[in-house]
Homo-oligomer: A and B are copies of this chain.
Amino acid sequence: MAELRFATRLNSFASGAHKYWPEQQGKPSVLQMIERASTAKGLTHVDLNYPQHITTDISTIKNKLEELGLAVNGMQMRWDAPEFKIGAFTNPDPKIRRQAIELTKRGIDAGREFGSNLMTLWMGQDGFDYCFQVDYKKIWEDAVSAVREIAEYAPDCDISIEYKPNEPRAYSIFPNVTTCLLAIEEAGCENLGVTLDFAHVLYANEIPAYAAAMVARRSKLMGLDCNDGWGKRDDGLMVASVNPRATLEFLWQMKKDGYNGAYYFDTFPDASGLDPVREAETNIATVKRLLGLCDKLDNNPELAAAIEKQDAVASQQIINDILFMK
């Protein structure tokens, strides 16, 4: 499995900064986090948040990454300036909405300089909190037309929508898989796709493999955020720490549908005081272990027959024997 790409959330490497850089005042720099990330064995890529991680000129970051043997998997937009609190693509002020769109285009441009053609749009600010706060039809159309404009700006770039039910807004404009597929159909651009975040999917009340299959039917899976959670919120836990069976099914579904992107870890070691390097290495090991088990699911006529009959008892027994020790 030498060719697998493993990427991770760069900000995780600020976890425990007071112990890793004991003499340092203030937060670690992007270059420091990259250096620390590079010590995680098996990690091959990072994602960069735009514009937050472009704190210096791009060539400096790029050279540092190359020097450390890392590459950029993709860019991820974060509209966290105060003016975007009430919305980026759905901001009621047309000028601020325009700024959000233009900022996104600059993020795509920056990604090109890093050699990446993947831009992930997690539109966290776009949504609503209260009844009688928004015109639902208008903000939907504002969201879709902005996504379309972004996609048309860079037809050679993969533009991937990542959904999440809520947080920071009480209701997100794109909360679940079918909402994204409907938006993509309305936007009508070939280079639009979906990023699935395992923990988001769980608390969107979806089985992750179902979400992956739905994406494969109508669009393209462009990214995946591996992690786990308890189904209530975005816990950001280690891969398969809660739902190993659903993780295995998810990886198998993606594999059958030909996913060839990176395995990106969107986990929050900081929230549990965990060492981010060991945490990333554990995630890589877990994904490799489960991908290895996927081979036993392929060409397994008993499993295929159980699924065809929707016979959950039979598949439970088969999976137990493949997944668990005795």
Give A contacts to B, CB under 8 Å. 15-18, 82-83, 85-87, 92, 128-137, 140, 165-171, 175-176, 178-179, 181-182, 185, 204-207, 209-210, 213-214, 216-218, 229-233, 235, 237-238, 240-246, 248-249, 253, 269-275, 278-279, 282, 285-286, 289-290, 292-293, 303, 306-320, 322-326
- By beta carbon, the residue of chain B nearest A296 is B325
A312 close to B272 (CB less than 8 A): yes
B316 close to A271 (CB less than 8 A): no
B16 close to A235 (CB less than 8 A): no
Contact of A171 with B205 at beta-carbon distance under 8 Å, contacts A82-B16, A243-B243 already known:
yes
A233 close to B231 (CB less than 8 A): no
Contact of A136 with B282 at beta-carbon distance under 8 Å, contacts A82-B18, A131-B241, A185-B185 already known:
no
- A323 proximity list for chain B (CB < 8 A): 244, 324-325
A271 close to B205 (CB less than 8 A): no
CA gap between A227 and B28 in the complex, in Å = 36
Contact of A307 with B134 at beta-carbon distance under 8 Å, contacts A176-B176, A182-B178, A312-B272 already known:
yes
Other contacts beyond A131-B209, A133-B307: 18, CB < 8 A = A86-B310, A129-B235, A131-B207, A132-B245, A132-B316, A133-B310, A136-B209, A137-B216, A167-B233, A176-B205, A242-B243, A274-B312, A286-B316, A289-B324, A289-B326, A293-B325, A324-B325, A325-B325
A312 close to B181 (CB less than 8 A): no
- By beta carbon, the residue of chain B nearest A167 is B233
CA gap between A176 and B181 in the complex, in Å = 13
CA gap between A244 and B324 in the complex, in Å = 9
A137 to chain B, nearest CB (A): 5
- By beta carbon, the residue of chain B nearest A292 is B326
Contact of A319 with B176 at beta-carbon distance under 8 Å, contacts A312-B274, A313-B279, A325-B325 already known:
no
B85 close to A273 (CB less than 8 A): yes
CA gap between A323 and B198 in the complex, in Å = 21
B82 close to A316 (CB less than 8 A): no
- By beta carbon, the residue of chain B nearest A257 is B137
- A214 proximity list for chain B (CB < 8 A): 136, 140
- By beta carbon, the residue of chain B nearest A315 is B132
Q: List 11 A-B contacts (CB under 8 A).
A: A129-B271, A129-B312, A130-B272, A131-B249, A133-B307, A171-B207, A175-B205, A175-B206, A282-B320, A289-B320, A293-B324
Among B133, B167, B217, B249, the residue within 8 A (CB) of A315 is: B133
B176 close to A317 (CB less than 8 A): no
| Among A18, A131, A136, A206, residue most surrounded by chain B Cβ atoms (within 10 Å) | A131
A295 to chain B, nearest CB (A): 12
CA gap between A282 and B324 in the complex, in Å = 14
For the complex of A and B, the 10 pairs showing the least CB-CB separation, nearest first, are A86-B273, A136-B213, A178-B178, A85-B273, A132-B315, A130-B312, A131-B249, A178-B179, A231-B231, A133-B312
Contact of A130 with B322 at beta-carbon distance under 8 Å, contacts A205-B165, A307-B135 already known:
no
